[in-house]
Structure 1
């Protein structure tokens, strides 16, 4: 025989609803805080007399030797 406790199920549903509400509040607060604290977008187009500088990568090694390619990878990360 299965006993159905309405009060126990109501407590479980109330807990889940409260958990979801607090989760939504926490995520919203986190997103708001990130928006307030985060610096300006680094890829935003500069204003005024600012100039964006680009660094070109050095040329890749001429040889196709495995050791040269491995050294190139560790030196330049490519």
Structure 2
């Protein structure tokens, strides 16, 4: 079996360069995503701001299909 050092070194260099570029691109993508992402919507409000949420009311007990369909379209459940 012929073992070519030149061929193996070029393969190793290719794998190393590919890995380095992969890390650079993924790091750049993460940085870009953090830079353009909006403010975190679930953070604690500052100042006089209040974070308010509404619990969904209970589903209707009636077995009427129209009521159930209306409930589904209104609340998405």
Alignment match, 2:53? 54
TM-score, with length taken from structure 2: 0.78
CA-to-aligned-CA distance 1:13-50 (integer Å, 9 cap, x gap):
10000000000111111111112111111000111111
Count of matched residue pairs = 76
Cα displacement (A) at 1:73? 4.4
Unaligned runs of 5+ residues in structure 2 are none
Alignment match, 1:76? 75
Unaligned runs of 5+ residues in structure 1 are none
The aligned runs of 1:1-78 (5 Å cut-off) are 2-63=1-62, 65=63, 67=65, 71=69, 72-73=71-72, 75-78=74-77
Q: Secondary structure at the match of 2:29?
A: helix
TM-score, with length taken from structure 1: 0.77
